[in-house]
Amino acid sequence: MKRLVLGSILALASTLALADGKSTCEAGDGAYLSGQVVKGPVFAHGQFRRGVELSHTHLKLRADQDGRTYDVAIDNVFANGYDRRKTGVPAPLDTISAGERIEVCGVLYDRGVGIHFVHASCGRPNPSHPDGWIRRAGGANLEANTAYCELFGARRRF
């Protein structure tokens, strides 16, 4: 009986967390996906803006919503451990591994096979630039660094 009750509580908590992430994302004008990481993270070089490389980290996510595999494009300058003097996947993105469950909020692209803009909007969310995020299921946002918002014509949020 205890197992049944505990199982029911865990299932309800998972459902509430999913609903909370989705509603939070939609309130910030984003598209929400949750699921299991099937590959990643992989570093990709980018263009430079005012001496700062706009590199990305990519990973593959199998979505709970439709079972499809999505490319998640993550802007490294918004990673909490980003250091402009270093090349590679920044912390804490470098700790994400295959098999792990994550949630992302951003913009679907390329006919729905990818999601990007999974980071802060620097205070100006809208459907093409939502107040996005990436996090371990129910955890803290890994893309909350606003130190480089001025590169995009915005001021820091905090």
Q: What is the token pair recorded at 149?
A: 């918002």
How far apart, in Å, do the first and last CA atoms of the chain sit?
48
Q: Is the pLDDT of residue 145 over 50?
A: yes
Coil, strand, or helix at residue 93? helix
Q: Is the pLDDT of residue 135 over 60?
A: yes
Give this prediction's pTM: 0.82
| Residue 119 DSSP class | S
Q: Is the pLDDT of residue 120 over 50?
A: yes
User: Would you state the pLDDT for residue 19?
Assistant: 54
* More confident position, 5 or 127: 127
Nearest-angstrom CA–CA distance, 45 and 120: 21
- What is the arithmetic mean of pLDDT over 112-120? 90
Q: What is the pLDDT of residues 7-62, one digit of tens each?
A: 333 333 333 344 588 998 988 789 999 999 999 899 999 999 999 999 999 999 99
Q: What is the pLDDT of residues 62-114, one digit of tens each?
A: 999 999 999 999 999 999 999 999 999 999 999 999 999 999 999 999 887 89
User: Would you state the pLDDT for residue 111?
Assistant: 82
